[in-house]
Amino acid sequence: MHELFLYILPLHIVQQYVFRPISVLIFGWIGDTIGRKATVIITTFLMSLCCLIMANLKTYAEISITATFVVTACRIAQGMSSMGEVVGAELYLTEMTKILQRYWVVASLVVFVTLGATVALAVGTLVTSFGLD
């Protein structure tokens, strides 16, 4: 599986250390001025818009290097919105739940985010191990 994902490692490093701090500043400001609920809605919409664009994007053979730039821009926007989505949801749940339920609700969010990532990794492993890549 390393041959599938090793070439994108530099982009992942740039996304972690450059774009996520920028997204924290942007979505933190939006959350402080407009509200946490609006931040979660905006980041969820941005994530789904990027998925929709990439699903309907023409191939490299059809539109050449433009496809590469669009996919890279969408992946950067997805990385930025994922940070705002998770942190915004944690803050929103922290503010909206009662004190006695707060820790369980936020902990369950973290557990299910981790569980979703684990299931996605398992599906990716199954797909590549059966040669469906």
Domain shared by 37 and 83, yes or no: yes
Please check the confidence at residue 133 and state whether its pLDDT lies above 70: no
pLDDT of residue 21: 82
Domain shared by 15 and 36, yes or no: yes
Average pLDDT, the chain: 83
Token reading at 62: 């059809």
pLDDT of residue 15: 67
What value does the mean pLDDT take over residues 97-121?
90
Q: Higher-confidence residue: 20 or 100? A: 100
Domain shared by 13 and 75, yes or no: yes
Domain shared by 20 and 44, yes or no: yes
Q: Which domain holds residue 41?
A: 2-96
Domain shared by 22 and 41, yes or no: yes
What value does the mean pLDDT take over residues 37-50?
89
Q: b/e string for 39-60 if b means 16 or more Cβ within 10 A? A: bbebbeebbeebeeeeeeeeee
Domain shared by 85 and 110, yes or no: no
Domain shared by 87 and 114, yes or no: no
Please give the model's pTM, rounded to 2 decimal places: 0.69
DSSP 3-state of 80: helix
133/57 Cα distance (integer angstroms)? 19
